[in-house]
Amino acid sequence: MLRCAITDGTASGFVNSTQTERLQAQVRCCAADGVDLIQLREKHLEAGALFALAEAAMRVLRDIESRTKLLINGRADVAVAACAHGVHLTSHPDELTPQQVRTLYESAGVPSPVISISCHTGGDVARSLENGVDIILFGPVFEKRVGEKLVTEGVGLERLAEACTLAGPVPVLALGGVTAENASACLAAGASGIAAIRLFALEKR
């Protein structure tokens, strides 16, 4: 089962030592548990602050010689600058395409990236496949929450199964309300793994 840990997006403003150490602790813990991917998802940070966190995370992974890969959410420029393993994209039509990201990495002389993308419908999945994505995060399967507030109801396991069938050999990770208890149902629906924020949060470990 592939596992993708997503950071909680709470870093803000000037990245201080407390934020850096918290991220490094999460990276170290996830890597020790054999988590496959860590998605640095800190949308409120400016490029410089995000780069500082990405560089700190990469330093941990290099120091412990981990196979865990770091993906930067939405900022291919930061990912390249930090020599991160890849980029996570959205399915928004104005987003960079996987090929554009790979070209950017190649131009910078950085090893070819892993590219994941968030999909919410079968149409999103189809477009992602056309663009040559490596991994699809599909959801929300059960729910989407921001903090304790329910934002969106989940689309359900049936929609997840349809997305997995459509994706074919491209791995699909179930996203949205995934827990240790319902992860097996996602795998039974055809998912190759799971992606989550709360499940991999430090306070849960």
CA nearest 109: which of 75, 68, 81?
Answer: 81
In this prediction, residue 155 carries a pLDDT of 96
Buried b (16+ CB within 10 A) or exposed e, 64-91: eebebbbbbbbbbebbbbbbbbbbbbbb
Q: Which residues pair with 119 in a beta bridge?
A: 138
Task: State the amino acid at position 57 in one-letter form.
Answer: A
In this prediction, residue 203 carries a pLDDT of 56
Over its length of 205 residues, how does the chain's per-residue pLDDT go in tens digits? 999 999 998 876 678 898 999 999 999 999 999 999 999 999 889 999 999 999 999 999 999 999 999 999 999 999 999 999 999 999 888 899 999 999 999 999 999 999 999 999 999 999 999 999 999 999 999 998 777 778 788 999 999 999 999 999 999 999 999 999 999 999 999 999 999 999 998 655 5
In this prediction, residue 192 carries a pLDDT of 98
